[in-house]
Amino acid sequence: KMYHRICIILSSCLYLCFGNSLYAERTILVTAATSGLGESICDTLAQSGDNLILAGRASEKLETLKAKLEKKYKGKYTILQFDYKDFPSIQKLSSKIKHPLDGLVLIPPRSTLPSKGMPSPQEWQEALNDCFIAPLEFVRGIASTFNPESSIVVISGITSIYYIPKYASTNVLKVMWAAEMKNLVTHLAPQKVRVNEISPDVILTQFHIQKIPSRNTESSRSYEEQLLFETQDIPLNRYR
């Protein structure tokens, strides 16, 4: 049920962002492709007949996702393995992309900032590099590969709109992406590249399902009680 709910939400949003492409056979690059959210996005786009470049760190997971998509759909799927921590390689990624891009779905890395207290300068520096500066450099590195009328979709989060105490420091990074949209729109306008941001509610992916019990170490709440506690700061009081 969770998977289908994610696909319905993303299908509508992605259609609005990519639906007007002039190219019948599109090539779209998806970062963090093997994450719970990334895999759902890949499945949604592949179902529409798009060719995909599956980008991420773990080559084995990327190969598994590629095989899964090839079994279900008829598109062409290639792998782009890279690590945001390897800054020099990010700047050379355009040479690895063999076909012009009609779209990019950018899922910035998940922040490791502590949920309580003020992060240290070192923690801030690492989070800014991994979750904002490096992904932004990734966009710069592949900008020359976009076709006219292409689209970039940045998957941000509800914390770019609402303040959620559990994600206090992460709020800052999400708002930075919301502000950066204006820069990207202006910078890429001469290439006729559209830029959009999607800010979904906190989605109950497998990552969150596995993390909920580990955050219940200081109480005797049941899983359901912990889930209710976790969602009290979300405007709709539930995960997507």
The tens digit of pLDDT for each residue in 183-238 reads 999 999 999 999 988 876 555 555 556 666 665 555 666 666 665 665 555 544 54
Residue with tokens 């359901």: 224
| Structure-model confidence comparison of residues 65 and 4, the more confident one | 65
Longest dimension (CA), the chain: 57
Predicted pLDDT at 22: 47
Per-chain mean pLDDT for the chain: 80
Instruction: Report percent pLDDT > 70 for the chain.
Output: 68
- Select from 211, 206, 180, 228 the least CA-distant residue to 112: 211
Q: What is the pLDDT of residues 29-85, one digit of tens each?
A: 999 999 888 888 898 889 888 999 999 999 999 999 999 999 999 999 999 999 988
Predicted pLDDT at 116: 75
Alpha carbon of residue 131 to chain centroid: 11
Asked if residues 94 and 109 have their Cβ atoms less than 8 Å apart, the reply is no
Residue with tokens 């996005």: 41
Predicted pLDDT at 191: 92
Rounded CA gap, 86 and 36, in Å? 23
Q: Burial code of 194-210, b = ≥16 C-beta within 10 A, e = fewer?
A: bbbbbbebbbbbeebee
Rounded CA gap, 200 and 236, in Å? 12
Residue with tokens 């109950």: 204
Of 4-18, 38-52, 166-180, which has the strongest mean pLDDT? 38-52
Rounded CA gap, 18 and 41, in Å? 13
